[in-house]
Structure 1
């Protein structure tokens, strides 16, 4: 008994000590957080400095308030990242900043889509128009990294490094066989020959229609990719195609031979070249500031007429949504606010979404239509504005996309899992129930297949939603419904293809959409304001910190493969009829 009490006392004492230590750590953590939140001073920029740009971090559509950014979690490193909006605005600010003499571009793995990459590249081209230089260097160049680096005045790589230039590819993960082994049947009701979002669950390879559309839009993206590299390096497109098709560049020597780079050198040699440009003593460090830290963005004008930029990025979901997901209720409420705000004379809806809930998309589209009756509303498309992303765009005054944007995908589907084989044959689980009518358990019992009557009902609803979708596109784009249907059927188009088919009005970035909105509203002097208004960093700390840490850890463990897990989770959690692009295309 004595030893028992000794053991209990030791356990209690140990628990108290652990909690005390955790409490002290938490106090230190919160203190550091508040300290970081309070430090908003402009970062010191030396005179005759270079702006260091790597882009080797997550690039969301918009920078989120992050009180953790200058902190590190053990094993996970720093948590800094910068949104596309701030990357572009900071490069623009550096162009006008007399202290910044040039850019040192050091990309390797660039984690964003091709349309966003084009916007960054355009910002770098504009930076060069000031007469300032861009020098690029990397130990290795992925295709996205080289695409960005090809804008540089001087382009170098490690003598033992590698450079990828072999053409673009896109793959789809198919899970039917795995689901069959688990005893899971995915029941599909859809409209659209090309609506292939459901294919990974019911096939083991692409359908001929899906292969046709993927080949077409990947070829369109490749043409835009080659066009920009050709312009940057002064190499003909035919030569670039030959180099890629025959995999002629594998190392630094090959890259020099085919004029893809200006020379081989190690990092210290590049730094010496920068010192020479800046007229800095060889014994001193290169005066530099990182794009992640540089914050000379200029002050936002708060008086007078405004053009509002409203961000809509992520999957479209019912309700309020979360960070990185477009909630139908939340975004429609934001549109109502902007419509009623007399200071806001025009609206630009910035869409970067593969779609999602058809119902939420329709709710948002209604608010776009109502806003259009009161003031100009333009759409600027990012990497994706497809299916539900196009649904919420179609009724705007004008739509602008990049050549590389994936859009269209006008089609809908319903996906209903039948887990009977898993429950009965694999797990030995059986269910029974009573009901008041033959449809009482429709879409709530996943332990049986749909009946023939239920399938008819589902198909009728999917057809109805598709007819609504195509009708609104026809209204917004001033087309016949039959014409919309002919380019609809779930088919995905690039921005340049969409322009040919009348789905967008012009090729251009966010700034072009802002200028078009201001012109339609007949504004000369105006400020640009960004919405939704972002939360206080303290509120963000407690509302999204758990989710962010989880995503950071998944990224660290799974890397580029996390997207497949995330896509599967999103589709399986989705309810109701969906207007969603087949998959996210990762260009390699």
Structure 2
């Protein structure tokens, strides 16, 4: 008995000590969070003769996350650094007039962003060069995305043993029909649109002829824009660039130099010495530099670089709609119809807001949720200017919520269009009966009481009901586009049918009004509202990490772990997961996740 009490006492002491340690760690972490949050807004000073160090080794979102833990480091746990497109563009614009910044150093990166996002950053760098300041780019590995960005630099260098990718674009789709057949699952497809191919992976084993035609068309448009941009900045004929890629001439770093795609082969220490010489720093001294995520916190007195210092009380609201569209609140990476509708309604009713810019970066989603948001755009248009700025993707439901605006801006390489509707309902009878030996029986009070039951195939009458619903959704979609774009519904149907277009193509057929970035959209909104002095405000409010404790934070952590584990295969995981969403309501969604290599 004495020995028993000794063990019990030891266990109690252990529990108490563990509790104390955990409590101490928790307090330390909370203190770190508070310190990070308090220090996050502190202004950063820049030394004279500095360079802005830009390294894109993270996904670029539309807005910088509201995360005070971005620079937090405790017991080896580091916060994830990420600067949103909004702050990237603002920082480059700020550096242009900052007398302490002598140039920009584009350090190696993989550009984990869509092409339109890269385009916006690239155009900001081109504008930066008008100041007469330099841009130097260096990398050990040049992906095509990073090289397109770096091609605007005054000098482009690569490691002598580095890798230079320049092979052209390819787009790949993963098909699941064979796997579904083995499982005994039939994907029952109801759709409108010859080109509406989001459902093809579930009932075909390869691309349809119509889908191959549209992908060939828009991929060619994207590639042509890519080559045109490089040709202009590097002074190499576009046809020559095409032939270099098509014949696989770039096998090693020396080849990139030979064909004038880079300016030299250098190691990192040589690059740093070059930057010191450019900024007048002695070779033995440290280079004066400031990282982009720190430069965001720099405050300048120049009013032109910071519209938040405008003297007027007039405002232009930028409403960010980014991610898949669904009902409910959504989050920072998805479009919840309730949250976005509320944000648009809020700025519409705010007398201080004189114009609205709706920033859309979405492949679409629920057709019902898209219509809910469209309604708010329509109401806003009646009382104040509303301009759409399209990001990487504004297709299907993403185009639906855009089409009612006064004017639509897109980048040449924005993916848009895809005007079409579909629904998917799985028939899992063979899986249940033949594979698992599970059967079902029951009673119902009406002929269609069990419509949508996945344990059996649809009857012809049930399929007709669903097809009628999808047809009605497509009719509503094309009517909305025709009304918003000032076209006939017949014309919209002819360019609709689920077909995907690039921004350049969409301009020619009247789906967008101008090619330009978010700053162009803001300028257009100001002009329509007759504003010269105004303040920019953004909606909806971003949740901080403090608001994400619980299910929201755990979901985000889980997503990061899955992404880290699966790498490039994460898109396949997302595609499979997305099938469950497609089975809930009719979808106005991009044919599939566009993957361009």
1:283 and 2:296 aligned: no
For 1:201-220, list aligned pairs within 5 A. 201-220=202-221
Structure 2 residue runs of 5 or longer lacking an equivalent are 301-305
Change (3 A) 1:9 1:427: farther
The DSSP-based 3-state class of the residue aligned with 1:137 is: strand
Give the alignment partner of residue 487 of structure 1, picking from 482, 495, 499: 495
Whole-Å Cα distance in 1 between the matches of residues 355 and 144 of structure 2? 38
For the pair 1:397 / 2:398, whether they are aligned, the reply is no
User: 1:203-255 CA deviation, whole Å, 9 max, x = no partner?
Assistant: 11111111110000000000111111111111110110010001111211101
C-alpha contact (below 8 Å) 1:355/1:388 kept by paired residues: yes
User: Equivalent residue for 2:459?
Assistant: 451
1:487-514, CA deviations, whole angstroms, 9 ceiling, x for partnerless residues?
0000000000001111000110111111
Where 1:450 maps in the other structure, the secondary structure is coil
* Number of the residue aligned with 1:296: 298
5 Å matches for 1:179-578?
Answer: 179-294=180-295, 295-296=297-298, 300-301=308-309, 303-443=312-452, 445-540=453-548, 544-574=552-582, 575-578=584-587
Is the CA contact 2:172–2:596 (under 8 Å) kept in the aligned structure 1?
no
C-alpha offsets along residues 43-93 of structure 1, whole Å, 9 cap, x if unaligned? 232211000001111111111101221125878754101111111111111
How far apart, in 2, do the equivalents of 1:490 and 1:277 lie?
52
8 A contact 1:380–1:513 mirrored in 2: yes
Structure 1 residue 517 displacement after superposition: 1.2
Q: State the TM-score, normalizing by the size of structure 1.
A: 0.96
SS in 2 for 1:292: helix
For 1:87 and 1:333, the matched residues in 2 are separated by 27
Contact 1:413/1:578 (CA < 8 Å) preserved in 2? yes
> Contact between 2:332 and 2:542, CA under 8 Å: does it hold in 1?
no
Q: Distance in 2 between matches of 1:21 and 1:287?
A: 41
Conservation of the 8 A alpha-carbon contact between 1:66 and 1:541: no
Alignment CA distance shift 1:22-1:204 (3 Å): farther
Secondary structure of residue in 2 paired with 1:470? helix
Equivalent position SS for 1:522: coil
Tell me how far apart the structure 1 counterparts of residues 197 and 13 of structure 2 sit (CA, whole Å): 60
Structure 2 partner of 1:33: 33
Alignment of 1:56-205 (within 5 A): 56-72=57-73, 78-205=79-206
Give the whole-Å Cα distance in 1 for the aligned partners of 2:551 and 2:200.
35
Give how far 1:425 is off.
2.5
1:403 positional shift: 0.5
Q: Deviations along 1:140-188, whole A, 9 cap, x unmatched? A: 1000011111111011010000100010111011111111112222111
CA contact (8 A) 1:309 1:347 kept: yes
CA RMSD of aligned residues (A): 1.9
1:448-492 deviation digits (Å, cap 9, x = unpaired)? 111111100000000000000001111111111111000000000
Whether the 8 Å CA contact 1:308–1:347 is kept in 2: the answer is yes
Partner Cα distance (1:175, 1:142) in 2: 29
C-alpha separation in 1, matches of 2:204 and 2:314:
54
Q: In terms of mean alpha carbon deviation, does 104-113 or 308-317 score higher? A: 104-113
Change in CA separation of 1:33 and 1:542 when aligned onto 2, cut-off 3 Å: farther
With normalisation by structure 2, the TM-score equals 0.95
Question: Residue 568 of structure 1: CA displacement?
Answer: 2.2
Question: 1:552/1:489 Cα in 2 relative to 1: closer, same or farther (>3 Å)?
Answer: same
Distance 1:78 1:235, change over 3 A: farther
SS in 2 for 1:129: helix
Is the CA contact 1:114–1:383 (under 8 Å) kept in the aligned structure 2? yes
C-alpha separation between the residues in 2 aligned to 1:566 and 1:9?
A: 51
* Bigger mean CA offset, 53-62 vs 489-498: 53-62
Asked if the contact 2:43/2:299 (under 8 Å) is kept, the reply is no
Matched residues in 1 for 2:142 and 2:363: separation? 28
- The answer to whether the Cα contact below 8 Å between 1:72 and 1:79 also exists between their aligned partners in 2 is no
Deviates more, 1:570-579 or 1:199-208: 570-579
Separation in structure 2 between the aligned mates of residue 207 and residue 579 of structure 1, nearest angstrom? 19
- Secondary structure of 1:277's aligned partner: helix
User: Do the aligned residues in 2 keep the contact of 1:186 with 1:418 (CA within 8 Å)?
Assistant: yes
Q: Distance in 2 between matches of 1:108 and 1:176?
A: 36
Deviation at residue 5 of structure 1 after TM alignment:
7.1
- Worse-matched range after superposition: 547-556 or 531-540: 531-540
Preserved CA contact (<8 Å) 2:320 2:540 = yes
Q: Would you say the 8 A contact 1:355–1:580 is kept in 2? A: yes
> Do 1:321 and 1:327's aligned partners in 2 also have CA atoms closer than 8 Å?
yes
Q: Secondary structure at the match of 1:32?
A: helix
